[in-house]
Structure 1
């Protein structure tokens, strides 16, 4: 399971073929089964093969993390607010203003049950298993972001693919620097929650 050939095939199946298959129309229950089996395999490999331990990393530079994240968030806030204002003004902050309980509930559920599994898969697992397969660091980050975007192909929305690709670049860089699943999950949650808040949740599958 540690050979280059095995890992290359593993990457192809988990991060290319399965996400591509989800873009096709077939029984949702079958997609759910494939997803559960795939994630179970990943958890097995992480903990039994790679011996990963889930713990809060020591010596985290919280000051640098928050400074960087807030700056990026402010840029994202300005761009996305203007985008929604000019393209779909009726949805600007609509869930937060009209359904505050649903807004809070979705933010909590998304942060706890969607973001962390995604980062465990696309950053913790991906970096641990495949980083050594790529000699070029920038290419590795690009591939990681591209495959992260690919997993959103089932939304069939070009803007979603662009946003998730950009997000994938940001998250990969954060994880590369920090090696922290916690930090990258916090960053992912903040940006995702903002997109839902500003009114772009529908295209990303958020209930509204």
Structure 2
């Protein structure tokens, strides 16, 4: 298979990549939001993840072994620990403000479901999201976007936009803040294992603390 964007002249390649970028990160979430009753949650996400895999395969310089490249991760462990502590503090305060009755309710009252989410969430949700929003975003489209600060903020913005279909400010705010942290970490380190761990631990804490209702498709207004 030929990467059309790579084989085209520079201006045409740039236009092609910009079109890809807009379709994946703006048009796709807008369509999912507008036609959620028809499209649902998982179909659009699966299509975008599949496209991300294909496009990354066509991206010059990308190697799939980067997904399990742990070199250099150790020096980022203090950052990871600080992020997790801050994320837990913010989310605990948020749940105590908005849903105090739900604080730690899932592990206590629905232990089986909680264990299932803790186990499957990293595999079924985090890996796909991180491939789309970190390697694909930064490695294939990063050179189209200004400096590192602009890249990180835009990355957080489109990551938040992808959660628009949840239709609540908590999901949009937390994913934007998380996107800032994940984007910064990937921009600086280039480490997929690092952002995978950050996203996994933050998501597990979110469901454990009691904010899962804001990220549950069954709670979306009809």
Q: TM-score, normalised by structure 1?
A: 0.90
The answer to whether the aligner puts 1:65 opposite 2:73 as a matched pair is no
Q: TM-score, normalised by structure 2?
A: 0.85
Q: How far apart, in 1, do the equivalents of 2:206 and 2:108 lie?
A: 15
In the other structure, the counterpart of 2:49 is: 39
The answer to whether the aligner puts 1:134 opposite 2:145 as a matched pair is yes
CA spacing shift, 1:158–1:26, aligned 2, 3 Å: closer
In the other structure, the counterpart of 2:9 is: none
Aligned counterparts, 1:1-208, within 5 A: 1-2=5-6, 3-25=13-35, 28-29=38-39, 33-50=43-60, 52-55=62-65, 56-57=68-69, 59-62=71-74, 64-205=75-216
Superposed CA offset, 1:72-110 (max 9, x none): 221222232222223211100001111212111111111
CA spacing shift, 1:185–1:75, aligned 2, 3 Å: same
Q: How far apart, in 2, do the equivalents of 1:66 and 1:159 lie?
A: 27
Q: Greater CA deviation, 77-86 or 122-131?
A: 77-86
Q: How far apart, in 1, do the equivalents of 2:217 and 2:76 lie?
A: 27
Q: How far apart, in 2, do the equivalents of 1:58 and 1:83 lie?
A: 33
8 Å contact from structure 2 (residues 36, 165) kept in 1: no
8 Å contact from structure 2 (residues 161, 172) kept in 1: yes
Q: How far apart, in 2, do the equivalents of 1:83 and 1:143 lie?
A: 25
- How many residue pairs match? The answer is 207
Superposed CA offset, 1:10-50 (max 9, x none): 11111000101111235545875544443322211212443
Calculate the aligned-residue CA RMSD, in Å: 2.1
Find runs of 4+ consecutive structure 1 residues off by over 6 angstroms: none
8 Å contact from structure 1 (residues 201, 207) kept in 2: no
